[in-house]
Structure 1
Amino acid sequence: MEIDQFISYVAQRDANEPEFLQAVSDVTESVLPFIRDNPRYQKEKILERIVEPERVVIFRVPWVNDRGEIEVNRGFRVQMNSAIGPYKGGLRFHPSVNLSILKFLAFEQTFKNSLTGLPMGSGKGGSDFNTRNRSDGEVMRFCQSFMTELFRHIGSNLDVPAGDIGVGAREIGYLFGQYKRIKGSFTGVLTGKGSEFGGSLIRPEATGYGLVYFTEEILQNKGDSMQGKKVTISGSGNVAQYALQKSIELGATVVSMSDSDGTIYDEAGIDDEKLAYIMKLKNNHQRIHEYASKYKCEYLENEKPWKIPCDIALPCATQNELNQEDARQLIDNGAICIAEGANMPCTSKAIHLIEESNILYGPGKAANAGGVTVSGLEMSQNSLRFSWSREKVDHKLRNVMHQIHKKCLHYGRTEDGHISYEKGANIAGFVKVAEAMIALGVV
């Protein structure tokens, strides 16, 4: 089957799901030529099976707001693939949540979880509920209603959700509390929990740290490093904050962060003291423009950071935030590396331009796998009824990111000797899942 033919096949079956189709298209371009060279995968129809979720659950979430009014949201859980372990993937609470976005995230999670080498399948879920400007009581009541339906579809050996956009420590606590209340048992059914009740140390930091570790691996493979590099980061949540922290630790200068209202450009660099202020802003649900007022730096209203000259760009906000024009601007301004902290933050056209320009590119399924890696380590600690030190978890995280990089190198070499991390990540992630699916039979 040709690439266009397969994408048309998926588009007919999944009409009106553009994000999912984009994710499938990006993977198919790398994987289908590999499948043609390895006919057993075609015979077993692995690609046709891997794009189809094993199960999709959609449910209503009624709850009562602080005014005593009933509100109704929609809840989802996409259980994508369990060939190598229980379903594993975050819950996202955001108004943009729909089936297309969750299927794209679950599909990407299949390859990401495979790359970690840990026994985790893939899933994703969430709701169109918006946590912004909601009281703790409203968030608690929503989470309790959401879990009252979700609990029957998850379990420590079945499906282990985590956090994502809009689902942090507060939400995970409320969700876990309701699960424990309903089931009457204390099990490792959610990750991202507080350290007080079974969470892993450095879980909040993990995605950002892992992103920078992977970026450093890419640079070191070229005889370079983060030391002395100028870095632009989008977003200002957990991933962005800890990517910034680790970048500073490795000797880089980070000059930007952003939110949906605009971007701060601090040419002097964001240091640890300034980062602490950003964390305080986010904890108090305040906007990033407050930073510009306090530190007298430039604020780019309603703009992303990609026009700012840099050596390394780390998109850490949301999907499709960096388009072809943005990629061209970064390349023209001398960027040498773009690595994804968010899920699919670069559009397909942007990726093609980056790859054609031989700019170093770290795809999200490899570069941002640190979060799910530490989630997997949290599952292990819960099973052992044990808690590892920060140093031990960080060491394991760094080793996993190193191993992911090696897998990308193994499968990512092109005919001209260039390393395509996109190709390498897609094929390496595919092979492990495909072999497991063949071993399990037609299920």
Structure 2
Amino acid sequence: MHQKDTLGELYEQVVQRNPAEPEFHQAVLEVLESLSPVIAKHPEYKEAKLLERICEPERQIIFRVPWVDDSGTVQIHRGFRVEFNSALGPYKGGLRFHPSVNLGVVKFLGFEQIFKNSLSGMPIGGGKGGSDFDPKGRSDNEIMRFCQSFMTELYRHIGEYTDVPAGDIGVGARELGFMFGQYKRLTNRYESGVLTGKGLGWGGARVRKEATGYGTVYFVREMLSAQGTNLEGKEVVVSGSGNVAIYAMEKVQQLGGTVVACSDSGGYLYDPAGIDVGLVRQIKEIERGRISDYAARRQNGSDFVAGASIWELPCQVALPCATQNELTGSDAKTLIGNGVMAVAEGANMPCTPEAVKLFRETGTLFGPAKAANAGGVATSALEMQQNASRDSWSFDYSEQRLKDIMVEIHRSCFETAEEYGRPGDYVFGANTTGFCRVADAMLAFGVI
């Protein structure tokens, strides 16, 4: 049977076995579409049914999270942890607290995490978790009570050699602090390496909060460099205004680019003079406000446009850093028509399949999430190293390690694409490189 037919049949099996999980289906299809030439070159992968095995999580945990809000009302949420693949190391991946979280979303994120973690070159497997709890508008005490209840169940499934969660959307240092405190209380152990993204005073690593945004921009720099150019003088649009977006904007400006727009769920902010990243950080991270406040405080001709798509703005570089499927095929057409040179996914799967197809067909430089935003989890692995050795590295040393990792990720994706006759196809290069590293380890372990 033809390889494409075989992969198509596998995809149909995945859809049938995992109904009503469109995000997971999308993530699986995106990987499978790259692998026909790989399976043809490595028949041993097919014989061992590695594709079937890699699409099935090793463990899926779903649990109830009861807690009491400030009014004394009992609230019930659902918690998830999908431990997807541990061929390269302990499961590693963030926790997301957002109303959109369900099993399909967590599985899509965990599946992506397998290959992202593989690409990082660090000894970590793939997993993901979270809850449909929304921390927005909740008091610190409510968030503490929720996090303690969440960890009261989760703690029995994690550990520095088993599964190491981190933060994600809705989970920052505050939430991680409450969860780590509860883990420490329940286990009677100060096991720093069980969570990453921690505060610097209690086992955290320098550059961790900057790492995903910085790493995405380093990947863009490498893509541009391979074409003989750089970020100097280029206009950049960054969707989102959370942690990833803020530090992506900061690094773009350090490397000579001008970020002219960012966004939140209410609309986008346009500042032709260049976004004041410090002001965005003040509004979002300290005041926990909305970027609609920015224009009134900046008073320099910047404008907040409510309810509109940020991708209507002309730019040379686009960095989607908000959430999945935010950049559509229509948005991609607009960006390409406006002369975009490079797009890199700072968020997880922010571009729809139609958008990715257009970027690849038109030769637009496109850095997929599993490569472009791998800096975050790579630096989490560096945090684990520091915890294991009871060490703490300087900011400059930590950033240099991050930079070296992103350069190596780009090199491996670029060279793999060239090896298979797909020059410049970073989607193919990332999927193939990430898959082969995991597959080789799975072959070595036998059928488990």
Which residue of 2 is the match for residue 116 of structure 1? 120
Q: 1:217 touches 1:405 (CA, 8 Å); kept in 2? A: yes
1:87-145 CA-to-partner distances (Å, cap 9, x unmatched) read 00000000000000000000000000000110000100000000000000000000000
Q: Confirm or deny: 8 A CA contact 1:264 1:289 kept in the other structure.
A: yes
Deviation for aligned residue 1:162: 0.2
- Do structure 1's residue 170 and structure 2's residue 171 form an aligned pair? no
Note the residue ranges of structure 1 that are not aligned, 5 or more in a row: none
TM-score scaled to structure 2, two decimals?
0.97
1:352-391 alignment runs, 5 A limit: 352-391=357-396
Q: Which residue of 2 aligns with 1:181?
A: 185
**Letter of the aligned partner of 2:217 in structure 1?**
V
Structure 2 partner of 1:292: 295
2:84 is equivalent to residue 80 of structure 1: yes
Instruction: State yes or no: 1:52 paired with 2:56.
Output: yes
Q: Report the equivalent of 2:202.
A: 197
State how far apart, in whole Å, the 1-side matches of 2:57 and 2:82 are: 7
Match of 1:277 in 2: 279
Q: In structure 1, the residue corresponding to 2:34 is in which secondary structure? A: helix
Whether the 8 Å CA contact 1:51–1:107 is kept in 2: the answer is yes
Q: CA deviation at 1:348?
A: 0.6
The equivalent of 2:96 in structure 1 is 92
SS at structure 2 position matched to 1:62? strand
2:66 corresponds to 1:62: yes
Aligned to 2:33, the other structure's residue is in SS state helix
Greater mean deviation of Cα atoms: 4-13 or 433-442? 4-13
> Once structures 1 and 2 are overlaid, which stretch shifts more, 292-301 or 362-371?
292-301
Report the AA paired with residue 41 of structure 2.
D
Structure 2 partner of 1:248: 253
Structure 2 equivalent of residue 28 of structure 1: 32
Percent identity between matched residues is: 55
Q: Which amino acid aligns with 1:353?
A: L
| Cα drift, residue 298 of structure 1 | 2.0
Superposed displacement of residue 5, structure 1: 2.0
Structure 2 counterpart of 1:144, one-letter code: Q
AA matched with 1:290: D
Q: In structure 1, the residue corresponding to 2:256 is in which secondary structure? A: coil
**Amino acid across the alignment from 2:91:** Y
Q: Name 2:408's counterpart in structure 1.
A: 403
1:413 partner SS: helix
For 1:300 and 1:22, locate their aligned partners in 2 and report how far apart those are by CA, in whole Å: 31
- Partner Cα distance (2:100, 2:121) in 1: 31
Q: Structure 2: how far apart are the matches of 1:93 and 1:44?
A: 37
* Residue segments in structure 2 that go unaligned for 5+ positions in a row: none
| Pairwise CA distance, 1:9 | 1.5
Asked if residue 315 in structure 1 is aligned to residue 317 in structure 2, the reply is no
Residues in 2 aligned to 1:105 and 1:376: alpha-carbon distance in whole angstroms: 18
Q: How does 1:226-241 map to 2 (within 5 A)?
A: 226-241=231-246
1:253-276 alpha-carbon deviations (Å, 9 max, x no partner) = 000110001000111111xxx211
Counterpart contact for 1:62–1:71, Cα < 8 Å: yes
* Aligned equivalent of 2:342, options 316, 337, 355: 337
Q: In the TM superposition, what is the alpha-carbon distance from 1:414 to its structure 2 partner?
A: 7.8
One-letter code of the match for 2:238?
A: I
Check whether the contact 1:234–1:304 (CA below 8 A) recurs between aligned residues: no
Secondary structure of residue in 2 paired with 1:205: helix
What is the alpha-carbon distance in structure 2 between the residues aligned to residue 165 and residue 157 of structure 1?
24
Amino acid at match of 2:294: Y
Distance 2:234 2:199 in 1: 34
Q: Using the alignment, how far apart are the partners of 2:76 and 2:186 within structure 1?
A: 21
Cα separation, 2, equivalents of 1:258 and 1:304: 9
| Aligned-pair Cα RMSD in Å | 1.0
Map 1:148-167 onto structure 2 (within 5 A).
Answer: 148-167=152-171
> 1:8: which partner in 2?
12
Superimposed CA distance per residue, residues 354-394 of structure 1 (whole angstroms, 9 cap, x where no aligned partner):
00000000000000001001100000000000001101110
Aligned counterpart, 2:145: 141
Give deviations 1:7-45, integer Å, cap 9, x for gaps. Answer: 112111111110000000000000233112211110111
- What SS does structure 2 have at the residue aligned with 1:30? coil
Supply the distance in 1 between the matched residues of 2:76 and 2:422 (Cα, whole angstroms).
54
Residue 258 (1) aligns with residue 260 (2): no
Q: CA deviation at 1:304?
A: 2.4
User: Separation in 1 of the partners of 2:216 and 2:364?
Assistant: 17
Task: State the partner residue of 1:347.
Answer: 352
Alignment coverage as a number of residue pairs:
440
Per-residue CA deviations over 1:131-182 (Å, capped at 9, x if unaligned) read 0000000000000000000000000100000000000000000000000000
Aligned residue for 1:181, secondary structure, equals: helix
SS in structure 1 of the partner of residue 62 of structure 2: strand
Match of 1:40 in 2: 44
Which residue identity does 1:278 align to in structure 2?
Answer: V
1:414/1:420 contact within 8 Å kept = no
Contact residue 197 and residue 205 of structure 2 kept, 8 A: yes
CA apart distance, 1:416 = 6.6
Q: 1:200–1:388: 8 Å Cα contact kept in structure 2?
A: yes
